[in-house]
Structure 1
Amino acid sequence: MGIIFFSGFCVDYIGKTCFTWVGTRPLVHISEPAMIREVLVNYNTYQKPRGGNPLTKLLVRGLVDLEGEQWVKHRKIINPAFHMEKLKHMIPAFYVSCSEMIGKWDKLLTQESSCEVDVWPYLQTFSSDVISRTAFGSSFKEGRKIFELQREQARLVMKAINSVYIPGTRFLPTQDNKRMKEINQQVKGSIKSIINKRVVAMKAGDASHDDLLGILLDSNYKEIKQKGNSNFGLSIDDVIEECKLFYFAGQETTGNMLVWTMILLAQHSEWQTRAREEVLHIFGDKKPDIDGLTHLKVINIIFNEVLRLYSPVASFRRLIHDESKLGNFTLPAGTLIQINVLIVHHDKDMWGEDANEFNPQRFSEGVSKVTKGQAAYLPFGGGPRICIGQNFAILEAKMALAMILQRFSFELSPSYSHAPHAMPTLQPQFGAHLILHKH
């Protein structure tokens, strides 16, 4: 894969721990699980880097961008929204969004028993609809509009990130800069309007607590009431940034997981058959429910293997502010550390000679068994800052895959071109062209 070629070259020819330069700043590449664990656990020492292109703040702020006490406060308030008991109430939203996607595929197959479909844009729309429904509930249509704006914003920001950034150029009145500013104002205004209406409903005792926004506002209110000071809660601007993050992280993670799963199951028909047999055994042709979804063992190990081979994030970085010792190395202040997730996930010393092959069976006894408890499996990061929405993403993906397998079988189209591409998450650059068959 081109996206990890340089890091892979360093590992092959220099070693699992090596360094390069980013301008005048040293960048240490690490792929040893023991060192990775040390970095992830000691998150106050190894913090997320600041700087870079400031336009990224238009997409990613909120919980993932915070450190120290601010991060602790936000995490505590947001946590209740992702408890499994709360996620159970979101199953109907998953079902409705997936039914709409499947309905579109059914229409394509009205005249023929099979047809070629690029499933990637459909899966993106599905996962964005899920976020719109689960984040804002009854304000779903407003939420969908917000997502469409965020998707346009992501394209503009990535275009800027992939070009040479000259400090100050974001203030120039270019067409892209004006549009990014306009989108940011529209998104903030729309979310603020939804929040204000929800706050009024809460005060009147008439608010829903079954969607992410309702749970977040309720948790925030309880924290403020318990501490007796609004400084202990989130401001309206904080809530807006967390809602924007719901969109970006939620859509990217699940959409990516599903598209690579369908591609791999199209290549490995025996695993597609096993997964379908499990789904039909548990649900038949009935609507999947939460109890059945938690018993999908074959699909669970398939997802584990998909996330190993095609982790949403290829790598991530940390920065040390003071001289620190990492493993046998003493690193000066200002050193960047890069954890190369895909390299760790494809390491033959950890995963065996078939590390580059699709073999879900390796996870048959669980993740901790195959990794021997080491920090070698990082699709959602690790340590205290592990992705807060991982259960949401996996539950949503299970529902979608179960419903797809109930209705369709699929194989790769001759027009499919395999090109994993980091944008910024790992996506199929030229789409996912499959041949769908009615099952």
Structure 2
Amino acid sequence: MLSLVEIRGASGIFSVLGKNYDCGFLNSGKGIKQIMFSLPDITMEESWSTSTSASACIVLIVLLTLTCAWRVLNWLWLRPKRLERLLRDQGLQGNPYSLFNGDLKQIMKMQKEVTSKPMKLSHDIAPRVFSYHLQSIIKHGKNPFIWFGRKPRVIITEPELIKEVLNKIYAFPKPDTNPLVKLVATGLLNYEGEKWNKHRRIVSPAFNMEKLKNMLPIFFNSCNDLIIKWEEMSSDGSCEIDLWPFLQSLTSDVIARAAFGSSYEEGRRIFELLKEQAQLAAQSMMKDYIPGWRFIPTAMHRRMKEINREIKASLTDLINNREKALEVGETTENDLLCLLLESNHKEIEEHGNSKTIGMSIEEVTMILNEVLRLYSPVIGLNRNVDEDVKLGNLSLPAGVQVSLPTIMVHHSPELWGDDADSFNPERFSEGVLKATNGRVSFFPFGWGPRVCVGQNFSMLEAKMALSMILQHFTFELSPAYAHAPVSVITLQPQYGAHVILRKLQV
């Protein structure tokens, strides 16, 4: 390699293999016409050394290129095809692996088609919210596999296998969370191992039923505010409203009051931001099948990061202020933030009971359980298989995932009878255990060690709200109502929940 180091007038110095040589320039007055070099003979040893070094570099480059090519080939094709073969060898069926996206394009296309218009008025919503899974089961049997990108996801619908998956939290950990989803929800939802254990111990005491009963006044105030608002709207005896935004506001108001006490106005702002964050995350996830999409700094992704920073700053301020109050011994309010901070400093004994809360609400509980069966907030759960594992008669290789389609299990005639798609609260008249015959066929909040820590909070809030609302109003569906449940992180009405609200004459 020649490297010009210095030029002085009509002469210069250049280097070959670390040795300097002279060169002369013949200038005719119109620019340099010729360069004359004075080179000593390069020895055979130097020539051989140069050739050997060049050959070594070429071999190294070729090896690196082949290694990278092999890894990419293995990542994109060989490993997925090996997993496919291992699953097919056990009799499991599914579509052949398709490069890059697997079945994701077809899933998105089918989901777009079924949600393009409302469905008929029916509780049989699985064909709408889980269309591709349902089609796969019909086509390939009860345990098909679906390709989510490069990973095959095996569908599990048998209660005994669902129980095993949800019980063995270390053999079947939660999948790595999409970085965009982490901006919406992180913590117990996606922590694993000792980190999850630690945070679960801190959080659990705050959601003990005895602690939650002290929050009934908070629930009452939020529900009462909603009822007053509806009474004003129905001053003529009735009115038509969209329930969905009111119930969303009620939920965020209850959580804000319960979590932040007197700071609940700031808590409301946090929930408004979380709502926007969830909508943005859902939009972005629709394009998640595009390789690298989540890392592209689009305007939407930048906005999500801005929201995340604002939420973290607000929560940090709230927690710091409350910790200072605890340190100086100030009397704190009976809210979740206070309880969480206290349980972080000391162990609080859990009572573990679920005695009645002073209200006769057995029928309300039955109704809520039946609604949760038919319209589970989360339509399915997914788990990773990080090491080869046995599940029933299946041998699942590391690298696959399992899918537990909650909605499909909740609507199974085999598990719930011929009226599985009918609204029948009486099936829960003797409790969940009797209704399910002891099987894991009802898990709206998950099941096992990782069951949702907030389920008691949610059920208590819902019971209070439903009991108070039904004491003041009756409902019927509005002609404007369009039945269109859709899953946007959680299940919700695509076009709202329009009803005719009628005030009861007390």
Report the residue type matching 2:496 in the other structure.
Answer: G
Matched residue type, 1:50: D
Long gaps (5+) in structure 1: 225-289
Residues 1:148 and 2:213 are matched in the alignment: no
2:144 corresponds to 1:79: no
Contact 1:132 1:143 in 2 (8 A): yes
Indicate which of 475, 481, 489 corresponds to 1:424.
Answer: 489
Contact 2:485-2:491 at 8 Å conserved across structures: yes
Q: How far did 1:330 drift?
A: 0.6
Q: CA RMSD in A?
A: 1.7
| Equivalent residue, structure 2, for 1:5 | 131
Identity %: 51
- Give TM-score, length-normalised by structure 2: 0.71
Structure 1: distance between partners of 2:411 and 2:449:
24
> In structure 2, the residue corresponding to 1:410 is in which secondary structure?
strand
Q: Deviations over 1:282-341 (max 9, x none)?
A: xxxxxxxx9565531111111111110000111110001111111111111011000010
Give the 3-state SS of the residue equivalent to 2:189 in structure 1: helix
Report the secondary structure of 1:435's partner residue.
Answer: strand
Partner AA of 1:307 in structure 2: L
CA contact (8 A) 1:45 1:321 kept: yes
Q: 1:62 aligns with which of 187, 194, 205?
A: 187
Per-residue CA distance 1:320-375 (angstroms, 9 max, x = gap): 11111111111110110000101110111111000000011111111111211111
Summarize the Cα distance change of 1:163–1:34 in structure 2 as closer, same or farther, 3 Å threshold: same
TM-score (norm 1): 0.82
1:113, 1:195 → 2: CA distance?
Answer: 45
Q: Which residue of 2 aligns with 1:46?
A: 172
Match of 2:227 in 1: 102
CA contact (8 A) 2:288 2:294 kept: no
Does 1:178 find its partner at 2:302? Answer: yes
Aligned to 1:159: 283
Q: 1:22 to 1:174 in 2, by over 3 A?
A: closer
Per-residue CA deviations over 1:135-188 (Å, capped at 9, x if unaligned) read: 000111111111111111111111111224555555555332232121111111
* Secondary structure in structure 2 of the residue aligned to 1:62: coil
Which residue of 2 is the match for residue 362 of structure 1?
427
Matched, 1:401 2:401: no
Where does residue 124 of structure 1 map in the other structure? 248
Paired residues for 1:7-26 under 5 Å = 7-26=133-152
Are 2:328 and 1:204 aligned? yes
| Residues 19 and 220 (structure 1), Cα distance of their counterparts in 2 relative to 1, 3 Å cut | same
Find the aligned partners of 1:303 and 1:197 in 2 and give their Cα distance: 37
In 2: Cα distance, 1:60 partner to 1:292 partner: 30
- The answer to whether the 8 Å contact 2:388/2:396 transfers is yes
Matches within 5 A, 1:368-379: 368-379=433-444
Does the 8 Å contact 1:293/1:395 carry over to 2? no
User: Which residue number in structure 1 is paired with residue 379 of structure 2?
Assistant: 314
3-state DSSP of counterpart to 1:63: coil
Which segments of 5 or more consecutive residues in structure 2 lack a partner in the other structure? 1-126, 349-354
Instruction: Indicate if the aligned counterparts of 2:277 and 2:304 stay in contact, CA closer than 8 A.
Output: yes
Task: Give the secondary structure class of the aligned counterpart of 1:28.
Answer: strand
User: Aligned partners of 2:456 and 2:288: how far apart in 1?
Assistant: 37
- Conserved 8 A contact 1:293-1:399: no
d(CA) in 2 for partners of 1:351 and 1:62? 34
Report runs of 4+ in structure 1 exceeding 6 Å deviation: none
Contact 2:261 2:333 in 1 (8 A): no
Q: Is the 8 A contact 2:381 2:404 kept in 1?
A: yes
Q: Residue 197 of structure 1: CA displacement?
A: 0.6
Which deviations, in whole Å up to 9, do the C-alpha atoms of 1:187-222 show, x marking residues without a partner?
111111111111110011014251111111111112
Which AA in structure 2 matches 1:59?
V
Query: Relative CO higher for 1 or 2, CA cutoff 8 Å, sep ≥ 6?
Result: 1
Show CA shifts across 1:231-277 (max 9, x none): xxxxxxxxxxxxxxxxxxxxxxxxxxxxxxxxxxxxxxxxxxxxxxx
Q: Aligned AA for 2:244?
A: W
Q: Distance in 1 between matches of 2:447 and 2:223?
A: 30
Q: Select which of 398, 403, 411 maps to 1:338.
A: 403
> Contact 2:149 / 2:289 at 8 angstroms: preserved in 1?
no
The DSSP-based 3-state class of the residue aligned with 1:128 is helix
Distance 1:184 1:24, change over 3 A: closer
More helix per residue: 1 or 2? 1
* Structure-2 residue corresponding to 1:252: none
Asked whether the equivalents of residues 309 and 342 of structure 1 are also in contact (C-alpha less than 8 Å), the reply is yes
* CA contact 2:129–2:487 (8 Å) conserved in 1: yes
Secondary structure, in 3 states, of the residue corresponding to 2:230? helix
Q: 1:18 to 1:165 in 2, by over 3 A?
A: closer
Rounded Cα–Cα distance in structure 1 between residues aligned with 2:477 and 2:255: 28
Cα 1:89–1:340 change in 2 (3 A) is same
Describe the shift of the 1:375–1:170 C-alpha distance in structure 2 as closer, same or farther (beyond 3 A).
Answer: closer
Q: Separation in 1 of the partners of 2:160 and 2:303?
A: 45
Task: Please tell me whether Structure 1 or Structure 2 has the larger radius of gyration of its CA atoms.
Answer: 2
Q: Is residue 27 of structure 1 aligned with residue 144 of structure 2?
A: no
Q: Which residue matches 1:91?
A: 216
